[in-house]
Structure 1
Amino acid sequence: MTMPKLTAVICFANEGEEVENTARGIRETCGDAVDILLINDASTDGLDYESVADRYGCRYLLNEEQIGPAHARHKGASWAKTENIIFLDSHMRFYADGWHRIINDIIDNDPNALYCTRSRPLQRGGLYEGGVVGHGASLVFKAEDFNKSLQPKWNTNSLAVSGTSYIPCILGGNYASRRAYFLGIGGYRGLHRYGGEEALVSIKSWLSGGSCQLIEDVEIGHIYRDAKGAPWSGNIKYYHFNKLTTAAILFDPPDFDHYKAQLKALPEAPHAFKVYESRRHFVTRARRMFQPIRRHPTDYILDLNDAFLRGEKISPV
């Protein structure tokens, strides 16, 4: 059998039957042309996920202790054997046969980019009830408080009929790239456990001379989380930590100080700062490793983002 060109890296914790639904959907639409890597991040719900992997011909990795999606996905990219990767959440639906070929062809045409597909919002059980389809995202860099700063903001306007369109930020739980490119820009290095992955890698992609693009010809359904939130513990402090880490890795000291001051105003700040101090050396290392591949100052992504919000077409310089 020919080796697949694309690996679907699926990290999950306590997702129940949705892991099987997602794996089945990939097999029904792509056959064996996608290598599926299931990463069980220390689930405690008692479901036999390894048997799901066996039924659908997936490779399976079990984390004995929970490490969170950022670490797990980065580990998955390193463990993938294929040229291309797509990070998928574990509660997805697929609607067109052979969508993997479109993704592979687009990556081949421009391997120095991160991609997301159009995202169809689904209700529990995978039902689509007419919600607005997401077309990638812009970024909110500085808002009135830390909760709203460094945050992706859905773009719900169609950008083109076919092909790809440049966007400031990927969003939607389906992120494809050349594996070597993702690892080459440092991937999720510096982040810890949960939250903020999209902003970090999107800004890194633009600042390193690449781009972020929306794949117009593929739409993937995503069951977005309800009020229960994500199944990882300590979400708030880690999400705050990851946003502060993004600023530390990518921005100049005055901007970092701005975000740090914003964080101090929140009641969760002591917990987030405690995590930051315990992992400061990892953050410093991630910043140091990004500098040699950086091609643009911070204003570059700020200007691109502003132009996108004005409705202008953006592209790499």
Structure 2
Amino acid sequence: MTRAPQGEKNSRRGFDEKAYLSSKVLKAGEDPYRQHAFNQLESDKLSSDRPIRDTRHYRCTSVRYDTDLPATSLIITFHNEARSTLLRTVKSVLNRTPPSLIQEIILVDDFSSDPEDCQLLTKIPKVKCLRNTRREGLIRSRVRGAEVATADVLTFLDSHCEVNSEWLQPMLQRVKEDYTRVVSPIIDVISLDNFAYLAASADLRGGFDWSLHFKWEQIPIEQKMSRTDPTQSIRTPVIAGGIFVIDKSWFNHLGKYDTQMDIWGGENFELSFRVWMCGGSLEIVPCSRVGHVFRKRHPYDFPEGNALTYIKNTKRTAEVWMDEYKQYYYEARPSAIGKSFGSVADRVEQRRKLNCKSFQWYLENVYPELKIPEKELIPGVIKQGGNCLESRAQDTTGNTLAGMGNCKGTVNNPPVTQEWVFSDPLIRQQDKCLSITSFSTGSQITLEACNQKDGRQ
């Protein structure tokens, strides 16, 4: 179990925790899920210093970190968060992090109903409060927090988290060794019903489908086989986005966040594509564990509605970063077609200035597991006058030859030997593809095993 060191508790005497929490308790009979989409009653019952189980692999306890790791500015944005949950997030950071590594904790209050939710917490040492004068959403709030941060490294954290033992050191170590790395912890689960702290699998990474829907997925088998050390970092195509560490100058150099995105959603794809395609990398650090309350719905309003906001944000991502592959986004999310998404000219220019790689590079080098959807292939015949292309007997080397012969059957029902499928850029018959034997005049046409990278096909 990880507990709070005594000395830390005594340094918060100016803060009246009892008064802070008791002014926001639930009324008798009130639905504990209504306001925050988690069981506030259970959160309020728990101590703000509650011990949690150390969920790391046992080998993490023997990993040594540099003694001169850089300090970080923590940025926590929130809108009408439950006080007990927000306070537990802040105190878990102070209790389980060496004080020398915390430059400051910047709370960005995104225009909550009660300004004191944030203000009163500034009586805790190192806690600062920024309040938005109108609702800005997570993305613009995080940028505002990052702009006032004084440390060289930024740590973004959600407002309903509890950090675990030695959570920060492994991430700072990775960023210190290479400032272009953007690193995330394994995100454990805090139950939205009873606030039990549950260990997450160490074999997962971030993935997505063509509709830009985030999902946790198993590490590819080859990657799993090559990982002899369970403390080793896991390359991830995308991060969940709620909790990560990034060098501040790298964050600024890459263009921070797309501040035309609203409220929440899609920003993790935009940041992930940008990091990978513009010279950085993303990884999950298994020796860092942070618990997070995963909710089933958003407890707050989206000015344009949840679905429309998500479409606008992901559409901006697709238009700037996905090149010709954005067609698969629109096929998977047809409701995005024709929806407004604002101007992306400045983000396109930013990408050009940074000389970023193509989305094809990303698919080939970072996420080859994301398969390009195959179009429904309709077979047909290839005619020249009254003749049709057909496959013939094998030659002496065992290759099946192809040539022109009299058309047989009907156009809709040709014989198997004259039926071809156009599978761009290949012409297939069953599992073989048309191929030339050489690039010289008079070359024979044969059927060989399909290979998209073979120029003869």
For Structure 1 versus Structure 2, the TM-score category normalised by the shorter chain is 0.7 to 0.9
The alpha-carbon deviation at position 191 of structure 1 amounts to 2.2
Tell whether the 8 Å contact from 2:115 to 2:131 is kept in structure 1 after alignment.
no
State the AA in 2 paired with 1:220. V
Deviation of 1:292 (Å): 1.6
Counterpart residue number, 2:262: 192
Question: Aligned partner of 2:185: which letter?
Answer: T
Q: Distance in 1 between matches of 2:350 and 2:367?
A: 28
Distance 2:183 2:72 in 1: 13
Distance 1:152 1:304, change over 3 A: farther
Structure 2 equivalent of residue 101 of structure 1: 169
Paired residue for 2:212, among 122, 132, 150?
Answer: 150
Query: Is 1:15 the equivalent of 2:69?
Result: no
Pick from 293, 306, 311 the counterpart of residue 223 of structure 1. Answer: 293
Match of 1:121 among 161, 171, 189: 189
Question: Which one-letter code corresponds to 2:86 in the other structure?
Answer: V
Instruction: Indicate if the aligned counterparts of 2:277 and 2:356 stay in contact, CA closer than 8 A.
Output: yes
C-alpha contact 2:186 2:200 (8 A) present in aligned 1: no
SS in 2 for 1:209: coil
For 1:78, the equivalent position in structure 2 comes to 147
Shift of the alpha carbon at 1:249?
1.4
Residues 19 and 269 of structure 1: is their aligned pair in 2 closer, same or farther, counting only changes over 3 Å?
farther
Alignment equivalent of 1:287, drawn from 348, 351, 354: 348
Shift of 1:92: 0.5
Counterpart residue identity of residue 7, structure 1? S
Alignment partners' CA distance in 2, 1:292 and 1:96:
41
2:238 paired residue among 169, 174, 181: 169
Alignment partner of 2:312 out of 233, 241, 252: 241
- Identical aligned pairs, as a percentage? 21
Q: How does 1:53-72 map to 2 (within 5 A)?
A: 53-72=122-141
Structure 1 pair 161/262, CA: closer, same or farther in 2 (3 Å)? Answer: closer
Q: Larger Rg: 1 or 2?
A: 2
SS of residue paired to 2:108:
strand
- Amino acid of the residue matched to residue 6 of structure 1? T
2:110 is aligned with 1:41: yes
Q: 1:82 to 1:104 in 2, by over 3 A?
A: same
Are 1:209 and 2:284 an aligned pair? no
> For 1:227-251, what per-residue CA distance to the aligned partner results, in whole angstroms no more than 9, with x for missing partners?
x325242322111100000011113
The correspondence for 2:360, drawn from 281, 299, 303, is: 299
Contact 1:237 1:269 in 2 (8 A): no
> After alignment, is 34-43 or 120-129 more displaced?
120-129
Instruction: Determine the structure 1 residue equivalent to 2:71.
Output: 5
CA RMSD of aligned residues (A): 2.7
How far did residue 294 of structure 1 move?
3.0
Instruction: Write the deviation string for residues 108-167 of structure 1: whole angstroms up to 9, x where unpaired.
Output: 111112111101011135312466467430232x2xxxxxx1222213557651132211
> What is the identity, as a one-letter code, of the residue corresponding to 1:16?
A
State whether residues 112 and 178 of structure 1, in contact with CA within 8 Å, keep that contact through their aligned partners in structure 2: yes
- Corresponding residue of 1:26: 93
User: C-alpha offsets along residues 291-310 of structure 1, whole Å, 9 cap, x if unaligned?
Assistant: 12133111111123444579
Q: Secondary structure at the match of 2:96?
A: helix
Q: Closer, same or farther in 2 for the Cα pair 1:303/1:59, shift >3 Å?
A: same
Q: Deviations over 1:249-301 (max 9, x none)?
A: 1132x4445545665x43x877xx24x2xx32xx2111111212133111111
Distance 1:45 1:133 in 2: 39
Q: Which amino acid aligns with 1:246?
A: T
Distance in 1 separating the partners of 2:243 and 2:93: 13
1:45: how far off?
Answer: 5.2
Q: Is the 8 A contact 1:116 1:136 kept in 2?
A: no
Task: Give the letter for the 1:110 counterpart.
Answer: D
More helix by share: 1
Pick closer, same or farther for the CA change 1:256–1:241 going to 2, 3 Å.
Answer: same
1:92 equivalent in alignment to 2:161: yes
Give the aligned residue type for 1:182: F
Task: Return structure 1 stretches of 4+ with deviation > 6 angstroms.
Answer: none
In the alignment, is the contact (CA less than 8 A) between 1:167 and 1:212 conserved in 2? Answer: yes
Relative distance call for 1:3 and 1:40 in structure 2 (3 A) is farther
| Matched residue, 1:314 | none
Structure 2 length normalisation: TM-score? Answer: 0.58
Letter aligned with residue 241 of structure 1: K
d(CA) in 2 for partners of 1:258 and 1:87?
31
Separation (CA, whole Å) in 2 of partners of 1:105 and 1:301: 26
Deviates more, 1:181-190 or 1:237-246: 181-190
Q: Is the 8 A contact 1:138 1:305 kept in 2?
A: no
Q: 1:19, CA displacement in angstroms? A: 1.2
| C-alpha separation in 2, matches of 1:15 and 1:135 | 28
Displacement after TM superposition at 1:38 (Å): 0.3
Bigger drift between 167-176 and 242-251 goes to 167-176
TM-score by length of 1: 0.82
Q: What residue identity is the alignment partner of 1:70?
A: I
Q: Does the CA contact (< 8 Å) of 1:195 and 1:242 recur in 2?
A: yes
Q: Between the two structures, name the one with larger relative contact order (CA 8 Å, sep ≥ 6).
A: 1
Cα distance 1:6–1:109, how it changes in 2: closer, same or farther (>3 A)?
same
Q: Judge which range, 108-117 or 120-129, deviates more.
A: 120-129
Distance in 2 (alpha carbons) for counterparts of 1:101 and 1:76:
22
Tell me which residue corresponds to 2:180: 112
8 Å CA contact 1:139, 1:305 repeated in 2: no
